[in-house]
Amino acid sequence: MSEAEVVERATGLLGRTFVGHGVTVRITEVEAYGGIEDPASHAYTRTQRSEIMFGPPWHLYVYRSYGIHHCANVVTGPTEKAAAVLLRAGEVVDGLELARERRPGVADAVLGRGPGNLALVLGLTLDDLGTPLLTGDGVHLGPEVPRPEQVRSGPRVGVSRAADVPWRLWLPDEPSVSAYRRSPRAPR
DNA sequence: TACACGATATTCT
DNA sequence: GAATATCGTGTAA
């Protein structure tokens, strides 16, 4: 898989809806991970945790981060490359009431800001690991949308390796997009 | 079996 | 801007 393909597939998710448990978001920010060829990817080393990414594409990869948060990824394949796209932020477009309940005291526009918060608002947990995302029921991806006219890109947030690869992609002027923070462990 | 460490978010100064 | 909670996972022993 070429670098261009990795970014291409990630870009295709921007602006698309993602249906979680009772809440739907429009994806505004993603990060691409290049699988076995990307030192920052969990699939760089094939383990039990990353095994799902070596399976067929369009399945859900969920992992626990810092013991507290869940982060949701779409496996984009192809199968042997284990590439995936981390969903970093989204705008809640349906199930607003439920989303508010899951994050009390937070402004609507910011409900789905950051990968941990997004997974929380969508109600995604490790129970959803491996869910096929193209089937219509339960947790799934919305229909494909036209390529966004403008896409911004920059280095990925919080990664200590390959910290300068600009594979974080987001839509301009979206209040739900998270702020950039370089990993304290990244060199330089 | 033990131990170190995050693809984070929030709180504190 | 800096500190840190918290625990599953990966890696070493």
Q: Is the CB of A64 under 7 A from strand C?
A: yes
The low-confidence residues of chain A, meaning pLDDT below 70, are: 1
- Break chain A into its structural domains and give their ranges: 3-170
Secondary structure (H, E, C), chain A? CCHHHHHHHHHCCCCCEEECCCCEEEEEEEEEECHHHCCCCHHHCCCCHHHHHHCCCCEEEEEEECCCEEEEEEECCCCCCCCEEEEEEEEEEECHHHHHHHCCCCCHHHCCECHHHHHHHHCCCHHHCCCECCCCCCCEECCCCCCCCCCEEECCCCCCCCCCCCCEEECCCCCCCCCCCCCCCCCC
pLDDT at residue number A135: 85
pLDDT at residue number A82: 95
pLDDT at residue number A1: 60
Domain A3-170: which CATH number of 3.30.1360.120, 3.10.300.10, 3.40.50.2300, 2.100.10.30: 3.10.300.10
pLDDT at residue number A76: 94
Distance in Å from B9's C1' to A116's CA comes to 8
pLDDT at residue number A147: 93
Q: Is the CB of A42 under 7 A from strand C?
A: yes
Taking the C-alpha atoms of residue A168 and residue A29, their distance in angstroms, rounded to an integer, is: 7
Nucleotide nearest to A64 (CA to C1'): C8
Distance in Å from B1's C1' to A48's CA comes to 19
Distance in Å from B7's C1' to A158's CA comes to 6
Q: Which residue is nearest to nucleotide B5 (CA to C1')?
A: A66
A91 beta partners: A26
As ranges, strand B nucleotides with an atom below 7 A of a protein CB are 5-10
Query: What are phi and psi for residue A101, nearest 5 degrees?
Result: -65, -35
Distance in Å from B9's C1' to A69's CA comes to 9
